[in-house]
Amino acid sequence: MPDIQIGFKPLQDLLLKKSEANILLAAIELDLFSVLEKNHSAEGIAQILHLHPQNTAHILNALVAFNLIWKDGDIYNNSPIANDFLVSGKPTYLGDYLRTCDPWYAISPEMICKLVREGPKQAERDVNPHSENFLEMQTRRSINYQRSGMAHMVVRLVSSLPEYSDFNRMLDLGCGPGLLGIALALDHPTLNVILFDKPDIISVAERCVLEYGVSDRVTTMAGNYLNDSFGDGYDLILASMTLNYALGSFDRLMKKIYEGLNHGGVCATLSDGRTQNGSKPEEIVISMLLPDLLGQNMAIREDFIANAMFHTGFHRVRTKMVQSPIGELEWTIGKK
């Protein structure tokens, strides 16, 4: 028999992660977590949701097994993370957002093999997962994603800048639903914010501006930042998790950002910032595998943005890795 020095359990665990993800998505679809906000037995949950009692117990036990819910005797209830993020109707509910992410993460082995063997064919390059309808839906589903930790993190990072109290006008470039700029407006009592993104996306941001009652200091502007003007006279331009779409014309965009700032203004970016020759952080590399295989050139390497800022003319450029709700990200600051 072979002399085995290391167990294969880590390989088995990788397959279990796939099953856990599917169990989570099924539980979201069944709306189990909304019922589990209160203590219930499996039979009680099955009755409320009109489910098969025995199989309801089986899926509940599976959720207990990887600690998404808790069990005491025959009674089940949510763990804190499930209660915060998986109860439908809460402002931090992430069920719809997670379902939107799933197609990016759950690439079939057959698709991976095909793309690795044959490369991205022209037809596959032309597949556009970023159609306007898709983007509008994804933006709506990312509202709760931004207010489930990302907005708080951005406020913390931006408010730590020594120039923060003197900021009067900022641009949230590629704002998505706009909660980052809105959160900064709520934190800074005199800051005027312009939210900029594509028209269908901006329509979502406009609804968020009304929801938070900040239309006196937060306005919107629609366009494509690669081709359209986004104005000037800004003290701060924030670009969070959006510059991946600009890699084909990055120097030109960085010049537009530089010219859009007042003297002494700050450009602040959050990006994936891949490290170790593009192989880390794990969550970024794995989540971006599909666009990588499709040849869509969306990977931002460590210090890429900082080097582009230096080349454009920014000074006092600095960068650091920060922990975010989705993993480790690169925070880069440049001053004009």
Query: Could you read off the pLDDT of 197-208 as tens digits, one per residue?
Result: 999 999 999 999
The confidence score (pLDDT) of residue 25 equals 97
Long-range contacts of 303-308 (CB under 8 A, 24+ apart): 303/273, 304/273, 305/243, 305/269, 305/271, 305/273, 305/330, 305/332, 306/332, 306/334, 308/250, 308/251, 308/254
Residue 126 has pLDDT above 70, yes or no: no
C-alpha span between 134 and 130 (Å, rounded):
6
Residue 129 has pLDDT above 60, yes or no: no
| Amino acid at site 242 | T
% pLDDT > 70, the chain:
96
281 confidence band (pLDDT: 50, 70, 90): confident
Mean pLDDT of 216-237: 97
The confidence score (pLDDT) of residue 92 equals 95
Residue 3 has pLDDT above 50, yes or no: yes
Return mean pLDDT, the chain: 92
The partner residues of 296 in beta bridges, in order of sequence, read: none
C-alpha span between 103 and 192 (Å, rounded):
37
132 confidence band (pLDDT: 50, 70, 90): low
Residue 274 has pLDDT above 90, yes or no: no
What is the largest distance, in Å, between two alpha-carbon atoms of the chain? Answer: 75
C-alpha span between 231 and 221 (Å, rounded):
10
Nearest by Cα to 180 from 273, 306, 137, 191 = 191
Of 22-36, 88-102, 132-146, 151-165, which range is least confident?
A: 132-146
